[in-house]
Structure 1
Amino acid sequence: MLNNQHRVSMRRGMKPLKGQHRIRTFPVHAVASNSLVKRQMLTEEEMIARAREFVETGSGYFTAPRPELFSEDFVFRGPVIGPLNKRDYLISLDSFQMYNAFPDLNSNAFGFCLDPLEPGRIRFFVRQTGTHKGPLNLVDGFGSYEPTFRKANVGPEAYSMMLNEEGRVKLLNVGYPVDFDAPNTTANKYGAAFGLLQSVGISLPTGPAFGVVQKLTNGLKEFGIGSSARSVSKWEEIPQWYKEFCPRREGAEGVSF
Structure 2
Amino acid sequence: MKSSLIVTAAAINGCSAFNAFTQLKKILSIPTYDGPPPSRVNTESWLDVLEYDQPPTFDVLAKTIDFATRKSYEERNAFLADDYVFRGPIIGPITFSDVKNTQQGFNIVGAYPNLETRPFGFTVDPDNPYRCYWFERWEGTNTNSVKIGQIELPPTNEDVKLPTHIMSVHWTPEAKIKYSCLSSPLDRWEGTTKGAGAVFGLLVGAGMGSTSASVGDMALRFQQRLVHAIGGFGRNWSLEEDIPAWWKSKARGADPNDL
TM-score of the pair, normalised by structure 1: 0.70
Which has the larger displacement, 85-94 or 98-107? 85-94
Identity, % of aligned pairs?
28
The residue matched to 1:53 in structure 2 has which SS?
Answer: helix
1:234 corresponds in structure 2 to 239
Higher strand proportion: 1
1:249 corresponds in structure 2 to 251
2:192 corresponds in structure 1 to 186
AA partner of residue 192 (structure 1):
A
AA partner of residue 138 (structure 1):
I
User: Which of the pair has more CA radius of gyration?
Assistant: 2
**8 Å CA contact 1:151, 1:200 repeated in 2:** no
Change (3 A) 1:129 1:86: closer
TM-score of the pair, normalised by structure 2: 0.69
AA partner of residue 53 (structure 1):
D
- Unaligned runs of at least 5 residues, structure 1: 1-28, 221-225
**8 Å CA contact 1:58, 1:69 repeated in 2:** no
The residue matched to 2:220 in structure 1 has which SS?
Answer: helix
AA partner of residue 105 (structure 2):
S
1:47 aligns with 2:65: no
AA partner of residue 60 (structure 2):
M
TM-superposed CA distance for 1:168, in Å, is 2.3
The residue matched to 1:176 in structure 2 has which SS?
Answer: coil
2:17 corresponds in structure 1 to none
CA distance in 1, matches of 2:112, 2:226: 29
Work out which of the residue numbers 67, 74, 81 in structure 2 matches 1:71: 81
2:70 corresponds in structure 1 to 57
- Unaligned runs of at least 5 residues, structure 2: 1-46
AA partner of residue 179 (structure 1):
D
String of CA shifts for 1:64-104, please: whole Å, max 9, x gaps: 66422221111111111111023323322332342221111
1:107 corresponds in structure 2 to 117
The residue matched to 1:241 in structure 2 has which SS?
Answer: coil
Aligned-residue CA RMSD (Å): 2.8
The residue matched to 2:49 in structure 1 has which SS?
Answer: coil
CA distance in 2, matches of 1:204, 1:212: 18
**Runs of 4+ displaced beyond 6 Å:** 37-40
How many pairs were matched up? 206
TM-superposed CA distance for 1:195, in Å, is 1.7
1:168 aligns with 2:140: no
2:201 corresponds in structure 1 to 195
